[in-house]
Structure 1
Amino acid sequence: MMTTELLDVQPRELKFTFELKKQSLCSIQLINKSDHYVAFKVKTTSPKKYCVRPNAGIIKPKATCDFTVTMQAQRVAPPDLQCKDKFLILSTVIPFGTTEEEITSDMFSKDSGKYIEEKKLRVVLISPPSSPVFVPINGESKQDPCYENSVKKDRVLSGVENIPPPHGVAEDVEGFETYKDMDESRAVKDVEELKPANIGEELKLAKVVEELKPAKDAVALNLTKDFEELKLKLNTVDSKLKEAELTIMKLTEERSMTTREKNMLKHELELLRRKNNVKRIMVGFPLFYVCMVALISLAIGYFIHP
């Protein structure tokens, strides 16, 4: 059992500036307070809503590591900017030399007998600086009278206009051990929250869906046409490649035949040269033989006619 804290997380909550149809980023810093190599893994109750980079890694002793959480663009604003999403940071000591590719989910399982440290973070949604908070009163949207005081207070503390959620949002989640089941239950809950409140809203949604169907069909038709055109182009390119391969094969064969013919001509020319040399040697008397005969004739003539 570890007696010291492995990681220090800064900040202890994820603050996102919430705007409809816009992404929002939040950076978290992990500080390794131990003298060991520590592996970490980030989990969330809404994996489809957030993107974590990196979601796992290794931190050297006394070193730091940052990861960024991106909240995807949302089409519907939560009531009073309340968010029940949670994040869980798991960390454990690993041997020296372990690589990030070797990090698996089994390393953070409590059944392995290793010490697993957990850090729970809640999500806080912040209203944009130029967007006041409206509170529904008797069916009408009116500006919250506490908005200006809360904005001034947040500006003094952090320099950012932060609209804290009402009391009770930051409930502690004790069920992080069953994280796989939480993803499914959270998805079902999100679907239930998106159900229309009355029949009129259902009709509006049905109308919107019907309006979107033609556009979807047109997009699918365009994609089909583009796919067919691309397929035809690929077939044309494939046929041209085959023709080019056949041409290359023919040229290669012609080149090899030309090389063989050239070698045969050289061989025949060499044979002709050798035959010519033999004929030259065989025709006429050698010069040395002629000279010897001449000298002998001169000597005989000299002795006959002194």
Structure 2
Amino acid sequence: MLRISPKDVLTFSDKNDTVLNVANETNSAVVYKIQTTSPDKFRVRPRCGVLQPGESLDSSILIKATCTLQQDFSKDKFRVISLQITPCEAKGDTAALYKNLTVDNPNIKEHRLRSAPACAAEPTECMLNKQKSMESPCMGNAINDGNDTEGSQDSGEHHGKRNKPQRKTEKLQYFTITLIVFLSMAFAFMFWKQSQFNDKIQTQIEEALKNSMASNTDEQN
């Protein structure tokens, strides 16, 4: 029904884009739609349309700015689904036609493609790029092969973060023990001073009583 070019693999350039050509080789109008398993990663313009007999159209497929080419494309696939329509349908409401483009429709034809970075034909270079890649928000799986050093750094940072609460707890315990010792010494000192004060008062009272008794004795004599 449709001639799809490229046929099997969408290869993305260094500018993070590629072109998919869709051509109608039938004698009737065809409505089509381009779908992807990673809509958060790719932007397709236009992604659907109506092709008259013999007509072709280029769809531009861009990788969004949050993504890079140096990553695993094995799970990023595309599908072109199409359906022959009558001339009246081609001139009618195209939105309704797009709604009929579902895999449940027995008249639907589909063509599947996979995606690949520009270095797909150079396995060694591609593997090096994958090893150097960083995980982006739209990657399905991060590729960490060859990043042992980076992983060790992450592990060290994580270990340091994990030990921070422990160090804070130890400092708090040390401070608490020091405070308890200081308060104990302060209370002991206060008790000792109070004992000395009480002894001094007791001695003064006894001397006063002795002096009073002596004075009374002298007066009686």
Deviation at residue 62 of structure 1 after TM alignment: 1.6
User: Who is 1:78 aligned against?
Assistant: 71
Deviation at residue 45 of structure 1 after TM alignment: 0.8
Give the letter for the 2:153 counterpart: G
What is the alpha-carbon distance in structure 2 between the residues aligned to residue 36 and residue 44 of structure 1? 26
User: Who is 1:243 aligned against?
Assistant: none
In the superposition, the TM-score normalised over structure 2's length comes to: 0.52
Q: 1:142-184: per-residue Cα shift (whole Å, max 9, x none)?
A: xxxxxxxxxxxxxxxxxxxxxxxxxxxxxxxxxxxxxxxxxxx
* SS, match of residue 103 in structure 1: helix
What is the alpha-carbon distance in structure 2 between the residues aligned to residue 117 and residue 134 of structure 1? 34
Out of 5, 15, 21, the position equivalent to 2:11 is: 15
% same residue: 22
Please tell me whether residue 124 in structure 1 is matched to residue 116 in structure 2. Answer: yes
* SS, match of residue 53 in structure 2: coil
Out of 86, 92, 102, the position equivalent to 1:98 is: 92
Q: 1:70-124: per-residue Cα shift (whole Å, max 9, x none)?
A: 1123258226xx54311000000122223433333x4122434x41111111112
Change (3 A) 1:98 1:77: same
In the superposition, the TM-score normalised over structure 1's length comes to: 0.39
What is the alpha-carbon distance in structure 2 between the residues aligned to residue 29 and residue 59 of structure 1? 12
* SS, match of residue 200 in structure 1: helix
What is the alpha-carbon distance in structure 2 between the residues aligned to residue 103 and residue 89 of structure 1? 15
What is the alpha-carbon distance in structure 2 between the residues aligned to residue 101 and residue 10 of structure 1? 25
Point out where structure 2 has 5 or more consecutive residues left out of the alignment.
161-221
Give the letter for the 1:16 counterpart: F
What is the alpha-carbon distance in structure 2 between the residues aligned to residue 117 and residue 84 of structure 1? 22
* SS, match of residue 40 in structure 2: coil
What is the alpha-carbon distance in structure 1 between the residues aligned to residue 21 and residue 92 of structure 2? 21
What is the alpha-carbon distance in structure 1 between the residues aligned to residue 60 and residue 157 of structure 2? 37
Compare relative contact order (CA 8 Å, sep 6+) and give the higher one, 1 or 2: 2
Tell me if the contact between 1:92 and 1:116 (Cα under 8 Å) persists in the aligned partners.
yes
Deviation at residue 201 of structure 1 after TM alignment: 2.4
Tell me if the contact between 1:83 and 1:125 (Cα under 8 Å) persists in the aligned partners.
no
Point out where structure 1 has 5 or more consecutive residues left out of the alignment.
1-5, 142-187, 208-306
Change (3 A) 1:115 1:69: same
Q: Alpha carbon RMSD of aligned pairs, Å? A: 3.6
Give the letter for the 2:4 counterpart: V
